[in-house]
Structure formats: structure tokens, C-alpha cells
Chains A and B, each alone.
Chain A
Amino acid sequence: MKRDIFSSMKDTILDTSAVIFDVKRYAIHDGPGIRTAVFFKGCPLRCRWCHNPEGTETFPDLLLNSTICASCYTCLKLCPNNALGSDKSGALTPFRELCNGCGLCVEACPYDALQLAGRQVSLKALLSELERDRIFYDQSGGGVTLTGGEPLLQHEFVIALMKELRNRSIHSVLDTSGYAPKEIFRRAAAESDLILYDLKLVDEHRHKEVTGVSNKLIIDNLKWAANSGLDLVIRIPLIPGINDSDVEIRDKAKFLAALGNIRSVNILPYHRGGLEKARRLGESSSFDEFEAPSEEMLNMALKIFRDHGFEVKTGG
């Protein structure tokens, strides 16, 4: 019963409509100034530490926050697909394979315990939502950040959105994994004012192991972007046991230094924020729990990048 929103939307993407799973205002760690971040649904990568697991799939995800759920069963009575039931203890239990993401339960839940990650939004409606914080963008040199998921999965919309933002003199930041066909990446890059470029691992084999995809596209797009002199900030998630070894960090720093034109690196230390969302998605098993990096580890990473001549900071 899972409905692939992209297949059902193929015609409407050109009518500039997209699926997003959040619009977050006062985003202050995703580019300059005060920003509004738009989270696009769907991601080709499956990083085991993902902190937005509700953004990876291309179908709407039902999230259940059991600590808030009062087991009133208002939702249960409404679901047209019998996708909601209760377990022996009476706790609400979603049967996600039956859920088609219609959202009736979410709309009705009195406690806001149910949420749907994935709503369709027209370009026009999204722009008016984004323009609400214009005074803050203007004041702070902020703007809009397109993130996800992987925004370039919905590239036509994303490009159209950035064009419209530019027409309105609103600064746009593209936060991307870089995992996109080069034509698409280049077109999108041209419309953005700044790219936050995620780099997990340089080693292709390891990359595939922990994200599920090769990093060839990512590296190629990055090289092109660096060569073209685009405004780039490299964001590196620091995941203990995955990419935090001294050698790994040095390799990455050397690799980036060799690209030239890159000045700025952000280190994003792993945190457990994704686990709760994975739990709410019923997907705990698909994600690993890691330790948060120690202060020493973080400082070491910062120092290595600094020694290679980068402006480096923690967080975005």
C-alpha cells in the first residue's frame, strides 16, 4: 500500500510542487544570519547515523511519539486503511505497511502525538511561508536554506524555488550531500548563493559501506564546484568509529586542501537526536547508536583542519 509520492507526482513536479517534511524558522546553524530551513523529503543515502531519518524515504512517514500518546484511539477509529491498532498493553501501534499517508489520524490526534513527515506544498504557498520571516533575513543577512533529505532529489522544484528567491532578493543556501547527476547539480549550484556541501568519507569503499552509495558522484561534483569558484562550505559529520580517526581526518583535510578554493569547514559532531525520531518511525533497528564525540576528539579534528589553513568551526 505504500504510495511513492514521486511516482504519483511526476506530472506535478513541473507544476512546481514538492514534498517537504518540515519548515523550521529561526534556523541559526545552517548558513549566515537568521534563516528558515526547508526540509525536502527523500534521500538516496542511508547514513547509519542519520539525524533526520524521517526525511530519507520518498513516501510519507508516520511518526508516533508514544510518550505523549494518551491512547485515546481517536485516530484508530478514523483510519480508512486499518493501519492503526493497539498492542496487548493498550499502546497505540501503527501498521506502517498499511498506511498510505493520508494524514487523517495526524489531523485528528488531540495530543499531537502523531505526525506525518511529508506534505505536498506548492511553490507559491511555500514562498509565502518563507516570506514571513523576511524582516529577520534582511536584518541579519540571513535567508532560506534548502536541506533535507536530499533537496536535489526534487531538483526541478528546488531550482525553481531558488530562482524565485533570487527574484525576491532572498539569499538561498543549498545544503546537499552532493549525490546528484552532474547536470542537475550544476544547474542547482548556479541558482544558489551558497552551498553547504556534506562530506562524510573520502574513501569510496567505506563510504558505500556506511551510506549505502558510492561517493564518486559526490567527489566529482565537489571537485567541479571547487574549480568553478562557487561559494562553498564543507560540512563534515564527525561520527565516532566511522570517520573520526586521526588518519581519516588528515586525509580529508589534505583532500580538501588539494581542491583549492575551499576556505571554510564546519564540523558537525554526532548527536543522538536522530534516535528518537527513528523510534517514532518504528525504525530504530535501521540506525546505529554512536557515542557523541569527546571534546578531545572534536578539538583534534578542529586543529587538523585549522593546521591545513581552513576556517573551521563546530556546527553550521
Chain B
Amino acid sequence: MNERVRRLRERSLQTEPTISSERARLVTEFYSGPGARGVSAVMQRAMAFKYIMENKEICINDDELIVGERGPSPKATPTYPEVTCHTISDLETLNSRPKTSFRVTEETKKIYSESVIPFWRGRSMRDRIFSEMTQEWKDAYDAGVFTEFMEQRAPGHTVNGGTIYHKGMLSLKEDISRAIAGLDYYNDPEAFSKKEQLCAMSICADAIITFARRHSDLARRMSANEKNPQRQAELLRIAKICRRVPADAPRDFYEALQAYWFIHLGVITEYNTWDAFNPGRLDQHLWPFYKKGLEENSLTREGAKDLLQAFWVKFNNQPSPPKVGVTAEESGTYTDFALINVGGLKRDGSDGVNELSFLILDVIEEMRILQPSSMVQISARTPDSFLIRALRIVRTGFGQPSIFNSDAIVKELVRQGKIVQDAREGGASGCVEAGAFGREAYILTGYFNLPKIFEITLHNGFDPRTGKKIGLQTGTPESFDTFDKLFAAYKRQIQYFVDIKIRGSNVIERLYMDNLPAPFLSILIDDCIARGKDYHAGGARYNTNYIQGVGTGTITDSLSSINYNVFERNRLSLKSLASILDRNYDNEEILRNIFLNKTPKYGNDDDFADSLMQRVFEAYFDAVDGRPSPRGGKYRINMLPTTAHIYFGKVLGATPDGRKAEEPISEGVSPVQGADRHGPTAVIKSVGKMDHIRTGGTLLNQKFTPQLLNDEDDLVKLAHLVRSYFRLDGHHIQFNVVSADLLKEAQVHPERHRDLIVRVAGYSDYFVDCGTELQDEIIRRTEHQAL
């Protein structure tokens, strides 16, 4: 890393996140002004976007090579009152909360109380959503049965394709004009609304060009006063580049990165889209520019690396727009999930790994910053050297890159109806969600608390926390004389709550479609221009809605415990179990430990437990998959939690797997923490029994201590572990390298960490099974090896 990048990186790390009132003020000015009157919703959006891009403060900071910020300065984070209007007390919470806080000035609060709140209260999308939801929906939402993504952030979850690298905005505007010219007002009853949509897109294209050119002008002005001749030359180059892109297509590596960055800022300024925006298959898109630059001697490997690192810093400067309440709990992080994909397949099915893929891995390793997130796509065709290179970064314990199975992603997307070439150009975004990049609107609608629904089933439709009846009355515990009858009741409850969730989502989708379209984003995603339709309204070639199932491990182990202890061993009746759970295992430590230690668990390659995981999966899949959405898409499932497993645990009483009330539930498709006791191959076998191909993504976390990855041999074996999981169609695996602190925790609480394997010397063992002397020694070694 050179000195410039070091400074840029350090500055980004040191800058404190703040709330900027700028965007809220501009959007309020526009909507309350005369320009917003008498025009369609989509035109309002386009004009508001233009107003922001023309009037927002811009900056070019010291040392920067890639320019442009979403706020007036780095980490100054805008708000989106048309989507969700923060109250003064929300702002105060953001300022004072211990985690993921944002500094809020008195000035910001003043602007909020004087103009933003008075205008948007009752008009924001969040307010409208809550006023349109049914009582059943609100009850389930309040109980923590599911969350709703769109109550605070706009539908998004989209990834850039390759268009912007060979087409400038001016050329896209020509496409838009041609589409307008081709409208058939005689035979297409939607012709006029298509014209509105297309005109709005055109305005947005102009707006982003203006925004870039403002940076060009600023760079030129700054260069006039710049004393350092080197920086002066850089500023002049920046001025030239921002004059050219994104109006015209980029011609070289530098222009390509800057073009993407302006587009990125456009998307995340138009809305607070979930998962920001995402350059997707960066190594594929940039490869032609990189190759050409090296061939023509206009670019060096080092130069490309510097630019990529400067580009990386820009992502880190954009914290996730702050959420409040439950939504803050479900994903309490600054990261905004821009997940850069490296490796994978090309459109023709051949291996996509190139020299630049390796260079990007170098960048990831050196930068070690929160944003952007990164992942590698591994297919059967990917060279081992690439996988091992990625694992070498994983070993450093920074949680990136995560590892994805390209072949599984392709199968998942094809099953959903995509053509195979589009699927190969796709990947994963956000946490682990599969999508056809540049061509798909795949909207995550909310997390779904599978163990909570089981708790409601055990209580005959009542939520024991509130005593409120929120589910169906499917029977009291005494009425279930077989496990199958109990499971049938659970299945009905799943179906019932999925229905409620989908009814709500369909309404919300329609609200966005009609009131908050996204004309700028629509320019970028195939085939919104050709169809004359908005991204929110089915303009994309493919449309998918996901409901994310959470708690696979907890629900499986709970069912296993009941099937085993109640129905097979007759240890106790279902009724007494329910009452023990209500008392949170009070005075029942022995029984609780029998549930924890002497009951079949998911994650041990034990078919007794694993077959129950499969049954839950089928019940959930049947309830969701294939149901239509207003945009003309389909509902699908994926299995991931972000951090919702913590929130979902808080609203859940004790569970039959031995978990106590309010503790987190299991995350992703990983086993319950500490429940897997036969090593990683058994975990992989268990998780491999899930039919990943019928999901749009699953998340598996595995913990490793650094000593397990000491030498090259260990890395090779880890690579084989990954390849084996992928042969079982596993979608994703992430390795968390365990810290010395966690090991110390495990010394104090061995019962919570029985899954932790450590390398001793020439062999590995469960950490809790090593004596104190040896544990101390391993902790010392771990501290020593930590970077």
C-alpha cells in the first residue's frame, strides 16, 4: 500500500459517522415547492433527483483519485424522509446509542423539527405502510414473527451489470428516446405511463451527468490554486475524467472506476436502497480495461492497485443509512453490504478467473476495511490456486472474503427461470443472495422467525410473551399424541404467517410502485428501458421477492428434542415440556442439559435430527415458493439472518433444544452454537442435506482457530473442505477465525463452546477438552499469531 492510500484509508477509518440533513432538506424543498405540483409520481422522483444532484454540496478531498461523496463530506450520511422520517427522538437515539451511532448536530435537529418532520409526517412511506397493514400483520410484526425490510429502506438489492462500461449516459438517453419514439399509443394502453417513465429516466441521466461535471468544474478550480505540481496534474486529470464519464462510456481503467462510482452515488442518493448498490463482478467488468492498459503501457499493475484501493476507500466512506427501532436491531452495522464478487464463470460457462481477480484479492488483503464486503465465487472450473489465495486472506481472521459456489448459484437461478447465460453472469449480493446481476430486481422482504412460530404452535396460537392470540388455534400440547400431528399443526401455522407476510408485502410493493418509483436505477437494469417500466414495477428482466427463513438450527434441534425426549423416550409429556419452557427451565437444569447434551442435534450428520431440518425446509418452501408478486415476479425463500437471529431470540422464550429465553437463535443454516460436536465434515454433511438449489441463498458460518490453518497443507485441506461442501451443492461458507478472547471466554464457559476445535500439535482437539495448561498455551499462541 502506498503512502497516499495509507492516508486515505486512515482518514476514512478515523472519520466519525454523522447525520447530514442536506438530502432531507433538498428533497423537502423540492416536494413542498411548485415544481412538484401537477406531475406524475415518477416525474416528481426524477425532478427531485435532479434537484439534489444539482444542489448538493460536493467535495474533492486531499489525495483522492476517485471522487464524489453521497453526503457533503465522507461519512456524512443522508436521510430519506420520503421513505422514513426520523423523529427528533430517533435522531437523539442515533447520536447517543453505544453501537453504530451517528453524530447529530443541533442544526440538523432544527432543520428536522422546523421543515422536514412537519412536511413528511404522515406522508412518508413508512407511515403509509403502517396505516395499510392489517391487524394480523401488526400483531405478527410486533411479536417478532417477521420483519419488514421496506418500512425504513427502499426496495433495492440490486447489482450493476456490464452496461455502463460500454455505454455512456448519453447513449442510454438515445435508447430511451428510441423507446419513446417506438411507443404504440393505439394498441398499448400503457403507452402514456411508459412515456412518463422513460422521460423521467432521461431527466435522471441528465442529472447524473450534471453531478459529474460539477466535480469536473470543482477539480479545475482547485487545480488553479494547487501549489503541488503533482497534485495539480492529478486534479486536471480528474477534471477531464469527470467531464467524460458517465456521460460517455469509459475508455480506460481509471475512467471505468470513476464511472461506476458516480453511478453508485446516483443509486444510493435516489433512495436508501437495501444493500446500497454493488459493482458485482468487478474483475470481469474491469478486465478488458486492465488488459488494454497493460498492453498499451498506459497502466501498470501497481497503478491499477492504487486506483482500486482509492476506490475501496470510497465505499468505506458511506455508512449504511441509519435505521431505527427493530430494523436497527435486525442489522446493527455500518456496513451497507456492497459485496464485490471475484472469480466465478463467464457468460459462456468458462472460468472467469483472471490476473485482475488475483490483484483484487491483494487489494482486499491490504485494505482490511469494513466496506466494501468481498467474496470469491468458486466453480468446479476455478483453479485451486485462486481458492487457496482467498483462503490465505481468510486465515488472517478478518472475515473476508466469504466463499460462494458459482455452480450452485447458477443452478438456483436457472431453477427460478433465468437463462443459463444470465445466471452465469450473476452472483451473490448483500449477505448471500443470488441474483442475475444487471437484469434482476430481487427484493428481500423480511426475516421470518421459524422458531417463534413453533412457540406459537406449542401455545395453541397464543404468544406466551404477551398472552395475545396471534396465530391459529391448532391444538393444545395435550392434543398431540404423535409427533406428526404436532408437525402438521406447525406447518399450518407457517402457512398462516406466510400468508400474512405476503399479503403485507404485496401491498407494500404496490405502494412503492405507485408512489416511489426509481427512475435512475431503472436506467441501469435490463430491460427497464425496453419495457418502459420502472425497476419497482416489473421493468427488470427478472423479478423475485425473498422471504428469509431464520433459525434453522434452533427449530431443528427443538423438534428433534421433542421427537426424541417426548415421543420416543417418553421422558416427559409435551404438556409438561411446554410448562417447563414457560418457566424458562427454572429448577430444571438437569433436564435442560439432557436436551443440550443427550439429544440428537443438527450439525452432527445425524439423520434423526437432519431429517427434521429437511421437513421444516419443505414446509417453509411449500408455503412461499412460486407465489406471484404484483411486479409479476415470484416469491422465493432463502436462509440467512444478517443479525436478525439476535432480535428473533430476544422475542422468543425458552426452546426445547435447551436454549433459554431471549438468547440468540442459530444463524443462517449453521448448527446451534456448540451443538455440532463431530467436526466440520459432519457439519457440512448435515447442512448439505438441505436442498440449497431451491433457495436463493443460504449462509453457513464455521469457526476456525488460526493454528488449524498454520501451514500450506492445512490450507489445502481447508480448500478440499470447501470443494466437498460445494459438491453437495452448498451455496456459501464463511470462516471466522477465532480470537484469543473467544478462547478465554470458552475457558470460563465451556458449555457454550463445545464446538471449538483447536490444533494442539500434530493433531486437533476440542478446545474444551484440553486441560487448562494446554488451553493457556493455545491462547498464548493465538495471541501471538493474531495480526
Contact = CB atoms under 8 A, between A and B. Distances in A.
A2 B402 CA distance: 53
Contacts of A133: 681, 685
A273 B761 CA distance: 9
B724 A24 contact: no
Interface stretch (B292-300, B458-466, B593-601): B593-601
Given A140-B720, A272-B777, A292-B777, A29 B597 contact: no
Interface stretch (A6-14, A66-74, A81-89): A66-74
B603 to A, nearest CB: 12
Interface stretch (B132-140, B197-205, B765-773): B765-773
Interface in B743-765: 750-751, 757, 759-765
Interface stretch (A184-192, A216-224, A263-271): A263-271
A34 B715 CA distance: 12
Contacts of A268: 761-762
B721 interface: yes
B457 to A, nearest CB: 27
Nearest to A293: B761
Nearest to B677: A112
B771 A139 contact: no
Taking each of B720, B773, B774, which has the highest tally of chain A beta carbons within 10 Å of its own beta carbon? B720
Contacts of A74: 590
B615 interface: no
B727 to A, nearest CB: 6
B682 interface: yes
A139 B724 contact: yes
A240 interface: no
A315 B720 contact: no
Residue of B714, B724, B757, B770 with most chain A CB atoms under a 10 A cut-off? B724
Contacts of B589: 70, 72
Interface in A256-293: 266, 268-273, 275-276, 279, 292
B728 to A, nearest CB: 7
A310 interface: no
A44 interface: no
Q: How large is the interface on A (under 10, 10 to 19, 20 to 34, 35 or more residues)?
A: 35 or more
Interface residues of B, number: 45
Contacts of A67: 750
Given A24-B679, A26-B679, A315-B761, A33 B717 contact: yes
B761 A279 contact: no
Given A111-B597, A136-B681, A273 B765 contact: yes
B723 interface: yes
Interface string B723-745: 11001100000000000000000
A110 B590 contact: yes
A128 to B, nearest CB: 12
A111 B591 CA distance: 10
A272 B728 CA distance: 38
A29 B763 contact: yes
Interface string B590-623: 1101101110000001000000000000000000
Nearest to B680: A26
B717 A28 contact: yes
A136 B724 contact: yes
B627 interface: no
Contacts of A29: 759, 762-764
B720 A34 contact: yes
A136 B719 CA distance: 11
Contacts of B764: 26-29
A205 to B, nearest CB: 27
Interface of A: 24-30, 33-34, 51, 65, 67-68, 70, 72, 74, 107-112, 132-133, 135-136, 139-140, 142, 266, 268-273, 275-276, 279, 292, 314-316
10 contacts: A26-B721, A27-B763, A34-B721, A51-B763, A110-B597, A139-B720, A140-B716, A142-B720, A275-B774, A279-B771
Given A28-B708, A34-B721, 6 more contacts: A27-B763, A140-B720, A140-B721, A271-B761, A314-B762, A316-B762
